[in-house]
Amino acid sequence: MLSKRFNIPLYILASILFGVKTYILYRFVFNISLDNMMQELILFINPFVSAFLVFAISVWLSPKRQMTFIRYTSLIGTLVLYFNLVFYRNFADFITIPVLFQGSNAADLGSSVLSLIHVPDLLFFLDVVIIWYLSKRQAPAMSVAYKKRNRVMALTVSLLLLAGNFILAEIERPQLFQRTFDREYLVKNIGVFNYHIYDIALHSKTKAQRVFADGNEMPEIESYVEENVKSDDKSDLFGIAEGKNLIFVSMESLQSFVINNTLHGEEITPFLNDLIGESFYFENFYHQTAQGKTSDSEFLVENSLYPLPRGAVFFTHGQNEYNAMPELLGEAGYYTSVFHANNKSFWNRDVMYDNIGYDEFYDVDSYQVTEENSIGWGLKDKPFFEQSLKYLQSIPQPFYSKFITLTNHYPFDLSEEDATLDKYDSNSKTLNQYFQTVRYMDESLKDFFDQLKTSGLYEDSIIVLMGDHYGISDFHNKAMGMYLDKEITPYDEVQLQRVPFFIHIPGEEGKVISKVSGQIDVKPTLLHLLGIENSNDITFGTDLFTEDRKDFIALRDGSFISEEYIYTEEKCYDRQSGEVLYPLEEEADSTASEESSNNEEANMCTPIKDKVEKELNYSDQIIYGDLFRFYNFDKK
């Protein structure tokens, strides 16, 4: 009776309900930053524009089919939103087409996925229930039988609204579709559904790049690397570890904010804190991963190329030609291996590892995993290192062996008997548990060092420890701000992307190095220490012990860190103070974007920003086009 009284067509009611739900999700669940009233307006209108565009299609159908179309469109649209919500809770990002192709990973996620689904989420489907009920019980009153002229008018109105949305988006964010590093900007300006359509188009375009690539792109890329990245300088440490074993530990989800920090008056990472004094420790070292997380960090380390902005390179381009570190070390006489107590197919590792030159992959089948020695994602770190040692002792030397830990992984579960630090107390269960699993990993690393010393491998090895990516996403900024006793700004979010990086060479004095560095630099740095020259390589990182090196670290979303500046979300900050240098606060109003585009030369970050965009694009070209198949790395 309600529908008869108001006589609202169901396609309009569905558009309103779906638009309201989507806006609430944008505004109060997704952590989308809004800098001015124009952005507020665009964020408000785009869900209604998208909903009306889709639901208005129903006016071209018969009354019965109208109801069916609206029902299932509402359900499918809600599922798309909900999948994005669950994904966002873990990764603070939006789903892309390549991520969907990584569905084989889902079977191994276990408690991680369940912890992202909340009971109040049922309210998210309330409008679907209402629409389903009305389409069944009030179909005659809520369907429409427009003449062709009115149908065309409905379509025209929906297209005009979409065009208006895009025009406002282009005014607010010039060249929006040319600057696709940051998916949040796309969702904020055109909506999640239009973003997915754009993502499909972009995916199709990148798939075609390999087909049409012919190698003519390489001279320009090589020229850029020669002029902006490569250095002929050698530091005093060149070859200091020549002939030694290389043991590399990827420390799952470990961020630098826990190093030399306390909880409840106790050190969170006592072993790692002590190790700083005996190692080269890079205190301003940043992870540069994207949607591939741990696999992205591996890709960066092995290749000194950037991961892709969408999906994981390990999945999408695992059979490309590369010039990876395991292959180079193999040619230098090293035996190469990976230790990771997880399924070999997770992140497509079995394919990628074989392609880049690893001799052996010790996966979960190499370990004795029981209910007692596993939790969360699998084998706990302490038994993982303990069981790995027998294999490490048996392989030929010199070797390059990579260890990937598991315990400090979302959702950071740990049994009571393994917890030696009390939980934190905040509104974030994730952060509360994080400190306990970090402490457990720290203890496992101490045990591993002791085992290496007992086995006799310690003195003949260099040991590298690196955090692979963030553990606490910006979804937990409120709790993180409570722990750090500060409000988390975009500047702070970039600083929180620092991860620990240790290079421990037995017998060498420790040194804290403050220069800005990142995962892109690991390959050239380690090859430098091992005395392996690779002058024809194409990399975007530089040896961290050489003075003549690149002056910035690029993040995958286009943000960057230099010695003087931090650039993120269209703002340029002083790196030391966090002060906004551009645009000035008085300019940050509805006309800020126009002023920014007309006064770009005033932005101190612009010269580096241009290099960052060029470098990310060059790296993408190499991967999408599989350009290394045309390149001769052995040329004189």
Catalytic site positions = 294
Contact partners, residue 267, CB within 8 Å, separation at least 6:
260, 261, 273
Q: What is the Cβ-side half-sphere exposure of residue 130, based on CA atoms within 13 angstroms?
A: 17
Helix (H, G, I), strand (E, B) or coil at 409: coil
Contact partners, residue 453, CB within 8 Å, separation at least 6:
none
Structure tokens at 27: 């505004």
Which residue, among 398, 403, 365, has the nearest Cα to 386 in the 3D structure?
403
Q: What is the amino acid identity at position 287?
A: H
Rounded CA gap, 636 and 622, in Å?
22
The answer to whether the beta carbons of residues 623 and 320 sit under 8 Å apart is yes
Rounded CA gap, 216 and 225, in Å?
16
Which residue, among 333, 106, 175, 322, has the nearest Cα to 242 in the 3D structure?
333
Instruction: Output the DSSP codes for 258-321.
Output: GTT-EETTEES-HHHHHHHTTSEEETTEE----TTHHHHHHHHHHHS-PPPSSS-HHHHTTTS-
Q: What is the Cβ-side half-sphere exposure of residue 592, based on CA atoms within 13 angstroms?
A: 19
Centre a 10 Å sphere on the Cβ of residue 119 and count the other Cβ atoms it contains. Answer: 6
How many helices (DSSP H) and strands (DSSP E) are in the chain?
24, 19
Contact partners, residue 22, CB within 8 Å, separation at least 6:
47, 50, 51, 81, 191, 192
End-to-end CA distance of the chain: 84
Structure tokens at 88: 């966002």
Which residue, among 555, 511, 505, has the nearest Cα to 528 in the 3D structure?
505
Q: Give, in order, the Cα–Cα distances in Å from 477 to each of 120, 385, 492.
A: 21, 33, 10
The answer to whether the beta carbons of residues 410 and 371 sit under 8 Å apart is no
Q: Which residues pair with 250 in a beta bridge?
A: 404, 466
Structure tokens at 168: 């406002």
Structure tokens at 263: 């909880």
Contact partners, residue 465, CB within 8 Å, separation at least 6:
249, 251, 272, 275, 445, 500, 501, 502, 504
